[in-house]
Each structure stands twice: as structure tokens, then as C-alpha cells.
Amino acid sequence: MRNPYLASLMLGVFLFAGVAHGQENELQRPVSMSQLLDQVRAAAGEDRSAQEARINRFVQERDQQAGRLEALRTAVAEARSKSESLEQQFEENEQNLVKLRASRDEALGDMQELFGVLANSSGQIRATLKDSPTHLQFPERDDFLQGFIQSLEVDGGLPDAGDIRRFWYELHRELMASGNAQIFEASVTSLSGDTVTRPVTRLGTFNVVSGGKYLQYLPATGNLAELAKQPGRQYQVPEDLFDGGQPVRVALDPTRGQLLEMLLQVPDLSERIRQGGVVGYVILALGAVGLLLALERLWVLGVLGSRVNRQARNPGVPGKNPLGRILAAARNGQTSDAEALEVAMGEALLKERPAIHRGLALMKIIATVAPLLGLLGTVVGMILTFQSITLFGNGDPKMMAGGISQALVTTVLGLATAIPVLFMHTLVNARARSIWQVLEEQAAGVIAESFRGSSQTRVKSSSAPASPELELAAS
């Protein structure tokens, strides 16, 4: 029995070795079994004391938590009682409020409808005044209107008499501002993005101008911005509106910028030409060539016509002109054979024909090709339009505007080029035909005189005296 006891004792020593590891320096290594037993008994006592202290601390904390729980239960009961009291008071206040509202509505009578209309219209009036250029001069009124609207939107709220009077004053001031023009300082955003404070002129509630240019009022930011493009000369505003002291004619936009924006979207002549694309430039180049050629031919044929007319009045002295060269050819080729003279005159006429009819064929070609090029541009523009529809659909018309513009502009350019070129071709052809007619008449006259001279020679030869043999035979 002694050996199992010792084994259990040794096992207990090893189990308590981890607990007593921190006190290893204080305890001495046992040298005998009695010392080992004493050390084990001392360590067990220390563990028992620590366990009792821990239990006492847990019991104390449990008692404290129980006290806190009881206090919280008491607080919850008090809060529940207070909540019930407040709910009862709220219900009583609701009933009193209903009675007070009924009493107020009875006292207001028709004024209640007036306040309702005022509440409905105040929001619209605020939006209208904020979109007006006068907001630049009176920015404080927006804060007042916002507070006034909030006071009306409160359930059962009544506006103050002073606020109603101020509201009427703002409406009257806007009405007066719509009929006058004023100069004041305002921030203007230039095209480069810089914001500069400078004098601007407000024309009623319609437009704002500065330096003879229209400005755009942006209600979202409350600023003025320069327009990317100014309207035409007929709509421009003089820079010195108030310097001359005389009435000045200006263009007003009653839609507060919508008509001006639509006017600016209308392209001018240069933009129209750019919309035509390459085909449009080719048509214009051909038109310029045709018009320049027509002017040159009109000038040359005018000079030739005057020279030919002078030569026709003085055929005896051939000059340096088509008719003079034809008369000189007839004089140099004098012959008794009228047919040979006719051939010579025909050759001379053929030599003068290219100089007179030069350029007419080219003008006719230009007048014919220009509409065809316009049709080509129309087809190209429609192809671009259908490509835009294929890629982006037909929901946004602006995506198709480029192709449609090219389709229409090239057609217009082709017709606008062909019509004047065709008209000029007709004038040049008529002048060339008149000159050619004079040349043919003069050449025919020379040939006719030649035929008349040859016939007279034949008559004279036939009227000569007959020989004696013929007279004898006749007798």
C-alpha cells in the first residue's frame, strides 16, 4: 500500500508544478518526503484561499448587478408612466388643436380661400422672378420668397401682414422693372471662361446687353455669360444706348432668351457652305469658274461687237477685228470666180468662229454638271443620315441633322450655281450669235457683190456685135 500512496503523491506534485511555477524561486527544492508533503500542503492552502476570494468577489458583483437591475426596472416603470401621461396629454392637445382650427377657419371665412390662392401662386411667382434678369439686381428677394412660401406651407400657418405687403411690393417692383432699362454692375463670364464684373444694361425683363452685345442670363447659376455667336446686324444693339438722348431701336425677346437662342441656331451663309462638305466646295468652285468665264466672255464679245459694228460702217478700211480680217481676206483673194471667193470667205469665217464661241461649251457643261453634283451630295448626305440611324437610332433628331443638312445644302448649291451660269451662258451665246450674224451678213454681201459683178460681165460679153458671117446667115 505504501508504493501506490507515493505514486499518487508524486502525481499531485507534478500537477501542482504548473501552478506553483511562479513561486519556484521562493520555494526550495525538497530534499525529503516530509518537506515535499509540507510544500504540497502549503500550495493547496494558498489555492483554497484564492478560490474563496474569487467566490466572494463573484458574490459581491452579483449583489451589485441585482441592485442595478432593480434600479433599471424602477426607471422603466417611471418612464412608462410618464409616456402614458404624455400620450394622454398629446391626445388632449390634438383635440384642442382641432377645436382651435375650426374656430380659426370660422373666423377667417373668405380669407382662407385667399390664403390658399396665395400659397399656390407664391411658388410659381418665385420661379418666375428667379428666371428674370432682375434677379441680378434684387437677389435678396429670393430668400424672402422662400421663407414666405415656407410660412404658407406650414399646416395652419398664417402669413404676416408685413410679409403680404412685401410680397405685393416685389410683384410691383418686377412690373415696373419690365418697362424700363437700367445700367448696373454684374459678373459676366466671357468665352474664355474668365468672370469679370462690368457694367451691363438690362432691357426690361427681356434681354441684357453689354458693349453692344447680347448676354445670356443663366438662372441655374445666377450669372451672365457671353453668347458664342451674336445675332445678325439687323438685331445688334448700339453701344451708346443712353449717350445720345434720342430713342434707340433695339430688338427685344419676350420669351427671355428662347427666340434669341433659336435665332443663333440658324446658320449663316458660311455655315451653310460648310454643311455642304466637299461636294459643296466643288460646286462653288465650278460656279466661280463659270461666272468668271461668263464675265470674261461678255467683256471680250462686247469689245468685239463694238469693233465689228464700226467696221461694218466703214468696210473700205479693214481693221484688226473679225470683220476686218474677213474683208481683208476677200480683198486679198480677188478673183473673177464667185465660187472660189465663196470658199475663201467660208474659210475666213471658220477661222473666226472659235474665238467668238470660245467658252460656251464649258459654261454649258458647268450648268449641266452642277445640279448633278448637288444630287450626288444629296445621296451622300442621305447615306450619312441612314448610318446615324443605324448606329444611334432615330430618337435624337440632332444626330441626323448633319447628313440632312448636307443633303439639302448640296442640292441648293447645285441649283444656285446652275441657274446663274445657265443665264450667263444664254447672254454670252446671244451676243456671240449677234456678232456671228453680222459676220455672215457681211460675208454674204461680199459674195453677192462678187456674183453680181460676174453676171454683169457675162451680160456685157453677150451684148457685143456679132460677126459678119452670123449677120449674113441671119439675113
Q: For CA atoms 172, 173, 177, 179, give the dihedral sign.
A: positive
Check residue 411 and give its pLDDT.
87
Confidence of residue 289 (pLDDT cuts 50, 70, 90): very high
**How would DSSP label each residue in 276-298?**
THHHHHHHHHHHHHHHHHHHHHH
**pTM confidence score:** 0.52
Q: How far is CA 184 from CA 34, 188, 210, 226, 446, in A?
A: 112, 12, 10, 17, 88
Cell numbers describing residue 309: 459694228
Rg (CA), the chain: 58
Residue 18 sits at φ, ψ, to 5 deg, of -70, -35
How do residues 159-188 score in pLDDT, each as one tens digit?
Answer: 778 888 888 898 889 888 888 888 888 888
Check residue 149 and give its pLDDT.
83
Residue 78 sits at φ, ψ, to 5 deg, of -65, -40
Name every residue whose Cβ is closer than 8 Å to that of residue 174 and which is 6 or more positions away in sequence.
129, 132, 134, 205
Q: Counting beta carbons within 10 angstroms of the beta carbon of residue 400, is it exposed (0 to 12), middle (13 to 18) or buried (19 or more)?
A: buried
CA 351 to chain centre: 61
Check residue 452 and give its pLDDT.
64
Q: Specify the 3-state DSSP secondary structure of 201.
A: strand
Cell numbers describing residue 1: 500500500
C-beta atoms surrounding 214 within 10 Å: 23
**How would DSSP label each residue in 71-84?**
HHHHHHHHHHHHHH
Task: Report strand pairing: 207-210 vs 195-203.
Answer: antiparallel
Residue type at position 175: L
Strand-pairing partners, residue 135, are none
Check residue 185 and give its pLDDT.
87
Q: Where are the alpha helices (DSSP H) in 132-276?
A: 140-153, 161-177, 258-265, 269-275
Q: How far is residue 350's CA from residue 344's CA, in Å, rounded to a whole number?
A: 10
- Do the Cβ atoms of 213 and 241 come closer than 8 Å? no
Q: How far is residue 168's CA from residue 38's CA, in Å, rounded to a whole number?
A: 106
Name every residue whose Cβ is closer than 8 Å to that of residue 100 and which is 6 or more positions away in sequence.
none
**Percent of the chain residues past pLDDT 90, beyond the cut:** 5
Evaluate if residue 73 carries a pLDDT over 80: yes
Q: How far is residue 148's CA from residue 135's CA, in Å, rounded to a whole number?
A: 17
Residue type at position 144: F
Check residue 365 and give its pLDDT.
92
**Percent of the chain residues past pLDDT 70, beyond the cut:** 75
Check residue 20 and give its pLDDT.
45
Check residue 245 and give its pLDDT.
62
Residue type at position 361: A
Check residue 156 and give its pLDDT.
57
**How would DSSP label each residue in 313-326?**
H-TTS--SSHHHHH
What is the mean pLDDT of the segment spanning 110-136?
81
Strand-pairing partners, residue 195, are 189
Check residue 1 and give its pLDDT.
44
Q: Can you say whether residue 212 is alpha, beta or left, with left for phi > 0 and alpha for psi between -120 and 50 degrees? A: left
Q: Specify the 3-state DSSP secondary structure of 195.
A: strand
How do residues 250-285 score in pLDDT, each as one tens digit?
Answer: 777 777 777 777 777 766 677 777 777 788 889 999
Evaluate if residue 392 carries a pLDDT over 60: yes
**How would DSSP label each residue in 109-156?**
TTHHHHHHHHHHHHHHHHHHHHTSGGGGT-THHHHHHHHHHHHHHSTT
Highest mean pLDDT among 129-138, 342-351, 435-444, 456-465: 129-138
Q: For 116-130, 203-217, 233-247, which range has the lowest pLDDT when averaged over its residues?
A: 233-247
Q: How far is residue 359's CA from residue 99's CA, in Å, rounded to a whole number?
A: 102
Evaluate if residue 34 carries a pLDDT over 80: no
Name every residue whose Cβ is closer than 8 Å to that of residue 277 and which is 6 or more positions away in sequence.
377, 380, 381, 406, 410
Confidence of residue 306 (pLDDT cuts 50, 70, 90): confident
Q: How far is residue 221's CA from residue 131's CA, in Å, rounded to a whole number?
A: 11
Q: Specify the 3-state DSSP secondary structure of 186.
A: strand
Q: How far is CA 115 from CA 109, 145, 152, 164, in A?
A: 11, 15, 8, 10
